[in-house]
């Protein structure tokens, strides 16, 4: 019995399941092993480092959309991505760099314009605007150079400005940089970028 307990303590799952089936006394030890394993899994997740955005931790193990859904500051963006049918695309392998306007940024767009873009018949226009916020590749803030032009998925150009270490994209400030996801990088911005 001591050998079985020692083996169990060393983490041998096979013996733990045999002991659990044969002895009610060690059954609770088998249960605690299972609990310990799930606790270890939870600890691993908790130890994953990320960036807090909109009251939620954005972590590298989630894709761009999964992270954005968690942010209370990006509910308008997430609704627009869903309306445009871009969830699957932005959940794909990428990599992508996304410039993600906050709810406050969308609030600066006239309500009638925003409401109009969310109508099914305006899906193509909404898609153009959203894909204007996406650049192929995973670009961190340090990769962005002053005066550089980035070509968006939509086909338009974004102008990068860097001054005193602060990055701007077409005049919108990057307020939170380098949010790493499994399929790219997100930069939170304080403006909605409109293609010409």
DSSP 94-143: --EEEEEE-HHHHHTS-HHHHHHHTSGGGHHHHHHHHHTTEEES---GGG
Shared domain for 67 and 35, answered yes or no, is: no
In a domain, 16, yes or no: yes
Above 80 in pLDDT, residue 179? yes
Predicted pLDDT of residue 49: 86
Shared domain for 142 and 56, answered yes or no, is: yes
Question: Per mean pLDDT, which range of 47-51, 59-63, 75-79 is the poorest?
Answer: 47-51
Q: What is the pLDDT of residues 100-159, one digit of tens each?
A: 999 999 999 999 999 999 999 999 999 999 999 999 999 999 999 999 999 999 999 999
User: pTM, whole model, 2 decimals?
Assistant: 0.75
Helix (H, G, I), strand (E, B) or coil at 176: strand
Structural domain boundaries, residue 39: 2-47
Predicted pLDDT of residue 48: 77
Predicted pLDDT of residue 24: 40
* Dist CA 93 CA 95 (whole Å): 6
Shared domain for 90 and 121, answered yes or no, is: yes
Predicted pLDDT of residue 3: 37
End-to-end Cα, the chain, rounded Å: 76
Shared domain for 8 and 73, answered yes or no, is: no
């Amino acid at each position: 019995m001591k050998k079985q307990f020692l083996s169990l303590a060393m983490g041998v799952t096979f013996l733990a399941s045999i002991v659990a089936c044969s002895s009610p006394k060690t059954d609770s030890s088998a249960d605690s092993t299972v609990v310990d394993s799930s606790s270890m899994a939870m600890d691993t997740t908790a130890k994953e480092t990320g960036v807090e955005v909109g009251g939620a931790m954005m972590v590298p193990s989630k894709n761009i959309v999964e992270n954005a859904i968690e942010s209370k500051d990006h509910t308008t963006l997430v609704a627009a991505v869903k309306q445009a049918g871009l969830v699957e695309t932005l959940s794909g392998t990428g990599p992508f760099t996304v410039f993600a306007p906050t709810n406050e940024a969308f609030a600066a767009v006239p309500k009638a314009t925003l409401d109009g873009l969310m109508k099914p018949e305006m899906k193509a226009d909404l898609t153009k605007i959203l894909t204007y916020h996406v650049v192929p590749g995973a670009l961190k803030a340090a990769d962005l150079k002053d005066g550089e032009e980035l070509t968006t998925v939509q086909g338009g150009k974004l102008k990068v400005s860097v001054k005193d270490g602060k990055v701007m994209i077409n005049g919108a400030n990057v307020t939170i940089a380098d949010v790493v996801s499994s399929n790219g990088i997100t930069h939170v911005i304080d403006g909605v970028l409109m293609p010409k």
